[in-house]
Amino acid sequence: MSTLAHTMMTAARSADSGLAGPGELDRYPYAEAPAGERAALRSWEGSDVDLGRVSRRGSASRGRGLHGQLVQQLGQMIVSGDLGADRPLVPEEIGQRFEVSRTVVRESLRVLEAKGLVSARPNVGTRVRPVSDWNLLDPDIIEWRAFGPQREDQRRELGELRWTIEPLAARLAAGHGREDIQQRLGDMVEIMGHAVGQGDAITCSRADAEFHSLLIQAAGNRMLEHLSGIVSAALQVSGGPVTGCDRPSEASLGHHARIVEALASGDAAGAETAMRQLLVVHPEVERVVPAPREH
């Protein structure tokens, strides 16, 4: 096994165990909370039953600190509909329910406001904004929607968006001749193949995500590169079927390898075709990906 493969497998297993891997940083880089506030956030317990439905994915907030945990819980509650526009978000009430300081609440609401989920106005207070105002391309909102009541819609929309982004990226990448990136893409395919043979779905998924991120980078289009986070989020919430890492497939690996071969030979049409074939390699994806139009 190559050194790169060993490194990725070690990092993947560390992440799965809850330990921070190399280069992993807190998503919300706030200063550490005082000692009295370092305990895990309490669920929102109140007369409203809906307000108790929080922390659906406890591992998602692991390592984010108090601010990140509160953002995670409030974000999930808003996206799932547990907190609607008819209920104002009172900072004092949130602080009391979750036993956190005003500073933690204030900074958490600012993060949610930046995502378009809430708005704060004088004499009105902080309220949930309509879905049309949400930043639906934000990775956190993608995750919250994907594991909430809108799960099927979110996965379908992500599949359709990937169908638009990635075949184009593959075509463009074939014309740039980035040998360094092509080598790294080949390394990812090698790592995926070894991981599939070992039944290591975690490493396979990590290498797969890196493959797709590199491919978009190789396209040489900064606007497309800006959308790479969408693809990464899509892979994380897809549950594996998109590329077959949870259910090892030689066909999936073959399509990845053909993409690399097409890039190396400058075959733009071949790279695009191989990517389209990859995106429909499983029936679950085929149902959400539109068929090519007949001309």
In SS3 terms, 8-66 reads as HHHHHHHHHCCCCCCCCCCCCCCCCCCHHHCCCCCCCCCCCHHHHCCCCCHHHHCCCHH
Token reading at 137: 């391309």
Beta strands in the chain (DSSP E): 118-121, 125-128
Q: What is the dihedral of CA 202, 208, 213, 216, to 10 degrees?
A: -170
pLDDT computed for residue 187 by the predictor: 95
Q: Is the pTM of this model over 0.75?
A: no
**Spatial separation of the C-alpha atoms in residues 234 and 54, rounded to whole Å:** 22
As a residue count, the chain comes to 295
Q: Is the pLDDT of residue 14 over 50?
A: no
pLDDT computed for residue 205 by the predictor: 86
- Cα dihedral sign, 157-161-164-167: negative
Mean per-residue pLDDT, 233-251: 59
pLDDT 10s digits, 36-71: 444 445 444 443 333 333 333 433 443 468 888 999
- Cα dihedral sign, 173-222-5-142: negative
Place of tokens 């085929």: 286
pLDDT 10s digits, 140-179: 998 898 888 888 888 888 888 889 899 999 999 998 877 8
Token reading at 112: 């949610």
- Residue 126 β-bridge partners: 89, 120
**What's the chain's Rg over C-alpha atoms?**
21
Taking alpha carbons only, the member of 277, 244, 238 closest to residue 258 is 277
Q: Look up residue 89 and give its DSSP letter.
A: B
pLDDT 10s digits, 63-78: 468 888 999 999 999 9
Helices (H) and strands (E) in the chain, counts: 13, 2
Share of the chain above pLDDT 70, in %: 69
Average pLDDT, the chain: 75
**Spatial separation of the C-alpha atoms in residues 66 and 74, rounded to whole Å:** 12
The CA-atom distances, in angstroms, between 123 and each of 90, 126, 127 are 12, 10, 12
